Chains A and B, each alone.
Chain A
Amino acid sequence: MQLTLWTYEGPPHVGAMRVASAMRGVHFVLHAPQGDTYADLLFTMIERRAARPPVTYTTFQARDLGGDTAELFKSAAREAYERFQPDLLLVGASCTAELIQDDPGGLARALALPIPVVALELPAYQRKEDWGAAETFYQLVRACVRPAPRAPRVAGRPARCNILGPTSLGFRHRDDVREVSGLLAALGVEIGVIAPLGASPADLARLGEADFNIALYPEIAGTAAQWLHRNCGQPTVRTIPIGLGATRDFIAEVAALAGVDPAPLLAGEAARSAWYARSVDSNYLTGKRVFIFGDATHAIAAARVAREELGFAVVGLGSYARGFAREMREAAASHGIEALITDDYLAVEAAVAAAQPELVLGTQMERHIAKRLGIPCAVISAPVHVQDFPARYSPQMGFEGANVLFDSWVHPLMMGLEEHLLGMFRDDREFHDGAGPSHLGHTAPKLVDRVPVEAAPADEALSWAADAEREMQRIPFFVRGKARRNTERFAQERGIATITMDTLYDAKAHYAR
């Protein structure tokens, strides 16, 4: 048994629902007790879907367990077919139905419906949501695609690719698909099928016609892309175009597979983020300590963007996706740190607190952690929240995605010029710790009440001389934590027991690179 306060992922049948809800012409009959219908609200409230997810739940109760739950499943499946007339029926069981072992696949086949039935095995006590989505998509692809060796492309016909992985409840999938489609169009590459999002079973049947696949979200598309590689001879584009560098790499990889020239697209790229990162106002971003946690794809990509495109220092990198632990460890090693692989929210909180970052890039969970610790935060990954479905166009991928990353990661931080001005005026009467915001007049709450109690020195042998402590109070509160931490580390490394005014300024000189 695992003690859990909050979970990063739902059960695997929720992953299956994300695939079914993304598609057209698919209906999912889920053997599940009453109560499991809560999952509908994820789609109707978080994603604000205008239609109910295409899911029928058997909603058995205790009194049914003594009777015939198998018959209940059959009648639910038959009614769902008659009412919704889908092109394909998915069937599966949630955690409780798995225990009663009714075999939804066998029962559904016994109905001899005139449509394909795809039975899902979703081991709820071993696996989680992303795995469930990947498995569902893989089973659908296997059921719909006839294996065939890839025909050589006719000369003169544009190259064609499929985009695999976007689902319902995905982090900005809707907008990423539009952005990536634009890149492909600019390269002159045709899009065969986008799946699961917006695809029908008939569309899936055409997957084999493309020359290659783009696995946009490897957590969901990885298994299916591998199968298509083996059975239809389609290579997979591996680069995930999150950030400017990765987008350029992605364009180069696609162009190589498609046999087109990437140079015109690369020459005319439209991202403002590169110029903004170089502009003088961004100097203050240099070396900002950032802690990154999320699904593996978004976290690894964010680490690259943080270092190469914003000049941040990555001080923490991790993921809740154990299936991608190897990739995660490699990425972390390239930043000189150790990856945090856990789905224990409290362990992540402890790691964030220990790393003392100046910015957290994480999921909604880390947003709450950061809020409690008083650290700015931007959300980069699922699990999703209603705020992750903005009304505006807001991709994470491609050139526009790079602009979105710049804005959404930098805005939570203090603006550079503001920071300098505050430094200049730090001794001003209105800028001391106790002063409330001057524009609110005398009734404003005193800031000093809101400044969190600072941590005691990490090393108990360490003490602060009174003059050094007083000087520390003159440093603006929003950089004081960093200054204190650096000074203490400096003192510890040199075996200094009492921090004096000199130690403080020696440390400042040491860290001023």
Chain B
Amino acid sequence: MSDLATLAAGCDAAPSVPILRERGQRSVFCGLTGIIWLHRKIEDAFFLVVGSRTCAHLLQSAAGVMIFAEPRFATAIIEERDLAGLADANDELDAVVTRLLERRPDIKLLFLVGSCPSEVIKLDLSRAAFRLSQRFAPTVRVLNYSGSGIETTFTQGEDACLAALVPILPATTARGLLIVGALADVVEAQFRRLLAALGIGPVAFLPAGQANALPPVGANTQFLLAQPFLADTARALEARGARRIPAAFPLGAEGTALWLAAAARAFGIAAPAIEVVLAAPRARARAALACHAPLLAGKRIFFFPDSQLEVPLARFLAREMGMQPVEIGTPYLHRQHLAEELALLPEGVRLSEGQHVERQLDRCRAAAPDLVVCGLGLANPLEAEGLATKWSIELLFTPIQGFEQAGDLAGLFARPLQRRALLAV
């Protein structure tokens, strides 16, 4: 079932990092999960999953169960008669969308989200989106992407969603910076202020908070990835002429400084001018990190694959908090986008791509790390075995990027250890 292969890294920017590639059971979410944070980010968008009862159940289970009265996501559940051809699935879908849009006149952008069953029965959602777009134009725009588990892992759902937005971004020839990847509003506002102080502009964000405020793109657009999992989105932007600014990701004081400095250099800002802007917030971030350092320094940490944030997180924890990564598991390793990160990883750390969860659990138990970063399915069982864990989904739901959040990010890893020290039961 698995072809265990240890290969030398082929990326010239990175030291030769050995990578363990595994195949087997992958204990990861599918791309539909991204809807949970994307629907909060784009205020007038609705996400309609075309899938099965399993998809609906996943969404409500992952959403922390039924928080929102009438959320801006739903599932059109495929039934037996849709499969048997008794009902034309396209007619059914049109009827569901019509009903939905009647109920929700506030919706300006509708995503038809493909799932495993819709992919397997080859329901063409791009044609459906085109057809429905024409019917509901200009009030509602209908787009499609796949969040299916057979094609996407967890955060790749956001990548697919943003990539679907790229073709409809307005064109521009003006020079500008585009920040790509969903960020909490507070983080976005901080970055706007810092980039303005650096003298970079105009600055736009993808996704935007409103469907009709899409950022423009063109040959003079340079873009900076705020998240490490946006391979397809980056490719789509490059196809529209935009150029990626290679950079480490804005996690921790160092990562944030490197990320902002990369943008500044690309916009021709001189090093002393960059330093003037970054010095104070970086010092503040370092001070916040120092509070957590005594607890985290020297501790060994093991990452199960989950969000593709694992490599930048390990870099941050190793370099700024003095932790020792034992294994950094990631569902996919995008060598090009992670080149700056890989170069900063400590020598000899084990990287693993893909997953064979049973073997990885064996390795984890054998390594007996001080902290395990893993998904919700594994966390409590590992705690019961005596290992301290940090559930990884919180890293997507919590603002962690930027200088002002660096302390919070360290705090997420410190809290499980603090709590263990505190409890006397």
Contacts and interface: CB of A to CB of B under 8 A. Distances in A.
Interface residues of A, number: 59
Interface stretch (A49-57, A333-341, A422-430): A49-57
A388 to B, nearest CB: 11
Given A34-B26, A35-B32, 11 more contacts: A1-B93, A34-B150, A38-B62, A41-B375, A44-B377, A45-B380, A51-B384, A72-B1, A76-B1, A79-B24, A95-B117
Interface stretch (A59-67, A194-202, A255-263, A403-411): A59-67
Given A34-B30, A34-B149, A65-B150, A123 B57 contact: no
Contact of B381 (A33, A52, A125, A368): A52
Contacts, number: 185
B52 A34 contact: no
B65 A3 contact: no
Given A7-B56, A372-B69, A99 B121 contact: yes
B57 A60 contact: no
Given A33-B149, A72-B1, A5 B71 contact: yes
Contacts of B25: 37, 56-59, 76
A61 B378 CA distance: 21
Contacts of A50: 380-381, 384
Contacts of B375: 41
B153 A34 contact: yes
A61 B53 contact: no
15 contacts: A1-B76, A1-B78, A7-B53, A38-B377, A39-B57, A40-B378, A44-B376, A44-B379, A59-B24, A75-B1, A76-B1, A76-B25, A124-B54, A126-B80, A385-B65
Contacts of B77: 1-4
Contact of B380 (A44, A76, A126): A44
A403 to B, nearest CB: 28
A59 B119 CA distance: 15
B151 interface: yes
Q: Which of A33, A51, A64, A76 has the most CB of B within 10 A?
A: A33
Given A35-B149, A52-B377, A365-B66, A3 B30 contact: no
> Can you list the 3 inter-chain pairs with the closest CB atoms, starting with the nearest?
A35-B30, A35-B149, A40-B377
Given A35-B28, A79-B1, A365-B66, A4 B74 contact: yes
A10 B376 contact: no
A164 to B, nearest CB: 26
B394 interface: no
B276 interface: no
A42 interface: yes
Given A45-B376, A51-B384, A37 B28 contact: yes
B70 to A, nearest CB: 6
A36 interface: yes
B420 interface: no
B54 A10 contact: yes
Contact of B66 (A14, A38, A368): A368
Nearest to B121: A99
Given A34-B153, A48-B380, A368-B69, A125 B30 contact: no
Interface string B146-190: 001111010000000000000000000000000000000000000
